């Protein structure tokens, strides 16, 4: 492989922890290595000397953490001689699959719930040349169909049911530990299909088992109130939330998410759309970090728990910010007052800005 940069993506960086061999063709867009940003204003809001860090996964090549899993899934699909890959998606999986499949010269087929994915994500799947089919049904139905089709035909499923997705995504917990020098005390994250919480927990446990960290974090997952099957203990037939990336009624990795919760002594709780949108705006305005609504569920959860006095003093907390705000610009514009239209003269502008 031609290497122009010292950083070449998560497979090269964490090769020894991943199921790859010299024969695996590495399909990468240099994903991973995302910043862990200290959040002073949020830390202050949480209080009690808390240190809050933001793992800004929106800075991956296609704008979400899905790239970590996709570099593995697509590389392994190539190794196994696949010609086509398929996924069901609330948006980001399709954006990522389409990009990595384009690089690997694989055919990519995407099933999306019609009318329910953010504009930025749809634009990505389309521009990378995937065959995008919008079904008249929700994500859970799309996934059921994708599973059925990939069982019957030689098309590789690249949803997080694909174990290589989880392997790639676990590298985010390695990065957090490498950066902090320890594991955080708490990790807060959104939960949709529950692959990511499964992956992080696997990563933390692996780092502990080889002595890279001495303690494990408590895993704190948050679902949206209208799409909270794990919290409610049963599948939700018609999930609803503005956070489309976690609008999932029957998570594929349900039991693994519960295991992460229980083994870590953590919790899986829910936040309302209002709490999500408030956190979404707050994060952009006090920390300068723009995320998509689903990602803000982590910060909404952080604030919900801190109000209850959940965190011990001086807690080290990471919030996983799963996707970039530009994925869903419609939501940002709908959440904030539109710019005022004014006359093009100096006086008017100065008056408006109070000078």
Ligand X SMILES: *Cc1c(COP(=O)(O)O)cnc(C)c1O
H or E stretch at 107: strand 107-113
Of the candidate spans 12-20, 100-108, 186-194, 282-290, the one that interacts with ligand X by CB under 6 A turns out to be 186-194
Find the binder of ligand X among 125, 294, 302, 319 (CB under 6 A).
294
Per CB under 6 A, the list member of 87, 322, 325, 331 interacting with ligand X is: 322
Q: Rounded to whole angstroms, how far apart are CA atoms 42 and 299?
A: 9
- Alpha carbon separation from 300 to 87, 157, 202, 250 (Å, rounded): 29, 32, 24, 22
Q: Between residue 140 and residue 169, which ones bind ligand X under the rule CB under 6 A?
A: 160
CB contact at 8 A, 111 and 318: no
Residue 224 lies near ligand X (rule: CB under 6 A): no
190 binds ligand X (CB under 6 A): yes
193 near ligand X, judged by CB under 6 A: yes
Q: Interface with ligand X includes 292 (CB under 6 A)?
A: yes
Q: Nearest 5 degrees, angle CA 224-CA 167-CA 279? A: 25
Contact stretch for ligand X (CB under 6 A) within 28-36, 126-134, 211-219, 292-300: 292-300
Q: Does 187 bind ligand X (CB under 6 A)?
A: no
Nearer to ligand X, 229 or 323 (CB): 323
Piece in contact with ligand X (CB under 6 A), picked from 42-50, 122-130, 187-195, 335-343: 187-195
Pairing of strands 36-38, 51-56: antiparallel
Identify which of residues 28 and 322 has a Cβ nearer to ligand X in the complex.
322
The verdict on 295 binding ligand X (CB under 6 A) reads yes
Q: Name the minimum Å distance from CB 326 to ligand X.
A: 12
- Residue number of the CB atom closest to ligand X: 323
Q: In this complex, which beta carbon is closest to ligand X, that of residue 50 or of residue 242?
A: 242
Kindly tell me which of 39 and 319 has the beta carbon lying closer to ligand X.
Answer: 319
The C-alpha atoms of residue 11 and residue 20 are separated, in whole angstroms, by 8
The residue range among 129-137, 194-202, 226-234, 281-289 that interacts with ligand X, by the rule CB under 6 A, is 194-202
**Rg over CA atoms, the chain:** 20
CA 163 to chain centre: 17
Q: How far is CA 120 from CA 49, 95, 128, in A?
A: 38, 9, 12
Of the ranges 16-24, 42-50, 188-196, 201-209, which one interacts with ligand X (CB under 6 A)? 188-196
Is 106 a binding residue for ligand X by CB under 6 A? The answer is no
Per DSSP, helices labelled H in the chain are 10-13, 40-46, 66-79, 92-104, 119-127, 139-152, 163-169, 171-180, 195-209, 229-232, 254-263, 273-282, 293-307, 329-335, 346-352
Residue 223 in contact with ligand X, rule: CB under 6 A: no
Alpha-carbon gap, residue 271 to 300, rounded angstroms = 7
Least CB distance to ligand X at residue 282 (A): 18
Q: What are phi and psi of 109, to 5 degrees?
A: -120, 135
| CA-CA-CA-CA torsion sign (317, 319, 320, 324) | negative
User: Tokens 């939501």 map to which residue?
Assistant: 331
64 binds ligand X (CB under 6 A): yes
State the nearest-atom distance from the C-beta of 4 to ligand X, in Å. Answer: 28
**Cα–Cα distance for residue pair 219/187, rounded to 1 Å:** 5
Q: Which of the stretches 107-115, 129-137, 191-199, 305-313 binds ligand X when contact is defined by CB under 6 A? A: 191-199
- Binding-site member from 46, 194, 242, 279 for ligand X (CB under 6 A): 194
Q: Under the rule (CB under 6 A), what is the footprint of ligand X?
A: 64, 66, 92, 160, 190-196, 245-246, 292, 294-295, 322-323
């Amino acid at each position: 492989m031609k290497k122009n940069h010292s950083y070449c993506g998560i497979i090269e960086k964490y090769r020894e922890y991943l199921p790859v061999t010299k024969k695996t063709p590495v399909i990468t867009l240099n994903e991973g290595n995302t910043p862990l940003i200290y959040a002073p204003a949020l830390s202050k809001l949480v209080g009690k000397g808390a240190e809050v860090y933001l793992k800004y996964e929106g800075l991956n090549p296609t704008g979400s953490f899905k790239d970590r899993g996709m570099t593995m899934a697509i590389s392994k699909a190539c190794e196994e001689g696949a010609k086509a890959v398929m996924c069901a998606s609330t948006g980001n999986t399709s954006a990522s699959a389409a990009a990595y499949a384009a690089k690997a010269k694989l055919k990519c087929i995407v099933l999306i719930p019609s009318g329910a994915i953010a504009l930025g994500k749809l634009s990505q799947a389309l521009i990378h040349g995937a065959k995008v089919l919008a079904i008249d049904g929700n994500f859970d139905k799309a996934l059921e169909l994708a599973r059925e089709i990939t069982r019957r035909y030689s098309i590789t499923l690249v949803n997080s049911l694909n174990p290589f997705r989880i392997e790639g995504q676990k590298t985010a917990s390695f990065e957090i530990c490498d950066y902090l020098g320890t594991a955080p005390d708490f990790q807060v994250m959104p939960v949709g299909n529950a692959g990511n919480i499964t992956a992080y927990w696997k990563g933390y446990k692996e780092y502990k088992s080889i002595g890279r960290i001495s303690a494990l974090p408590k895993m704190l997952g948050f679902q949206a109130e209208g799409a909270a099957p794990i919290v409610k203990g049963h599948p939700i037939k018609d999930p609803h939330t503005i956070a489309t990336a976690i609008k999932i009624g029957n998570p594929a990795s349900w039991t693994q998410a519960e295991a992460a919760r229980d083994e870590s002594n953590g919790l899986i709780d829910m936040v309302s759309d209002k709490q999500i949108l408030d956190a979404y705006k707050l994060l952009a305005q006090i920390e300068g970090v723009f995320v998509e609504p689903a990602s803000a569920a982590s910060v909404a959860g952080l604030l919900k728990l801190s109000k209850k006095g959940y965190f011990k003093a001086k807690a080290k907390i990471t919030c996983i910010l799963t996707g970039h705000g530009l994925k869903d610009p419609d939501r940002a514009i709908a959440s904030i007052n539109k710019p005022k239209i004014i006359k093009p003269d100096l006086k008017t502008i100065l008056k408006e800005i109070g000078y």
